Amino acid sequence: MAPNVEVILEGFSLLEGPHWDIKNQCLYFLDFHKHSVHKYVPSTRKLTNAVIGNHNVSIIIPIKDKKDNFVITVDRSVSTITWDGESNTVLNLKKLYEVDHGTDHVFNDGKCDSSGRLWSGTMGAHASTIDGIPPGKGTLYSFQNNLVQNYRGGIGISNGIAFNKELGKMYYIDSMNGTVDQYDLDINRGTLSNLQPIFTREKHGFDECLFDGMTIDSDGNLWVAIFLGSKVIKIDPRRPETLLETIEFPASQITSVAFGGANLDELWVTSANFKEFSPGQKGGSLFKVTGINARGLPADEAVCEIHS
């Protein structure tokens, strides 16, 4: 049976950062251009949102064992908020870390590893168009216990992150670099080594596309959003350059993916609606894909102190 692609919500600008909350059976995501965080509950089809001032927000991740508390990225800062998931405003916006001082850089994608450490990277000043983002200005960071570590500079658009705890791997995408990369990850020390490209854009006919957000399934395969390609692809990172499956969407600007649902067997997919590119019929929509014969893993939450 072929995967079934369903449009769940429409009319957004730049959807990013889907995170499935397994405890509350809901999806958190954000609209980068509209400076808003969103919560969608599939069982009731209820959508709520809150605006974070006039700031770019690129991730929203629950804080472990802290009800209604989240880590978000705000421009070039990592911050925490309190949000009940119902109100149209958030409380207690507090900055934890700030990076790239003296620049107008902004954070993009980010994920937490199994220790609760946050990994996120920056890109040059976010312009009104993708073509306006300057190359090579971003940096990949990790954040834990008041420690900020800088791992990789010269990044164009810091993007997809996924982890394989059993193999000790972190997978990473710089969208301007044209590869999905692999690192060895020392989870205790929070260090990366042995950078290797494992999937290359040009070798698979994606020359005009960008690799964007990604997630990992319980079999260790990666699911990668193809921006300007109308696709999510499934690849096997243990066999470099191995494309396993392709899912097509009625939107060209696919931005990110996350597993969700009661059995973590649904793929939730975000998209954008940049007018300078052809967005497709349903650009700026949130999609749900079923019938994919794969399951995800519970999304890791952030571990950090909340100071009153």
Which of 105-109, 265-269, 279-283 shows the lowest per-residue confidence on average (mean pLDDT)?
Answer: 279-283
Q: What is the pLDDT of residues 210-255, one digit of tens each?
A: 999 999 999 999 999 999 999 999 999 999 999 999 999 999 999 9
Q: How many angstroms separate the first and last alpha carbons of the chain?
A: 52
H or E stretch including 108? strand 106-112
Mean pLDDT value across residues 138-147: 92
CA 139: distance to chain centroid?
16
Phi, psi of 184 (to 5 degrees): -80, 130
Give the residue from 19, 65, 27, 29 showing the smallest Cα distance to 50: 29
Is 269's pLDDT higher than 70? yes
pLDDT at 140: 97
d(CA 237, CA 242): 7
d(CA 190, CA 183): 12
Confidence category of residue 307, pLDDT binned at 50, 70, 90: very low
pLDDT at 92: 94
Q: What is the pLDDT of residues 58-79, one digit of tens each?
A: 999 999 999 999 999 999 999 9
Contacts of 176 (CB under 8 A, 6+ apart): 135, 155, 156, 157, 210
Is 127's pLDDT higher than 70? no
pTM: 0.96
Residue 297 in contact with residue 218, Cβ under 8 Å? yes
- Percent of the chain whose predicted confidence (pLDDT) is above 90: 86
Torsion of CA 183, 141, 215, 181, to 10 degrees: -30
Confidence category of residue 275, pLDDT binned at 50, 70, 90: confident
Token pair listed for 37 = 């965080």
In the chain, where the domains are located: 4-290
Token pair listed for 182 = 């692999």
> Right CATH number for 4-290 from 3.20.20.70, 2.30.40.10, 2.120.10.30, 3.30.750.24?
2.120.10.30
List 62's β-bridge partners, or say none: 70
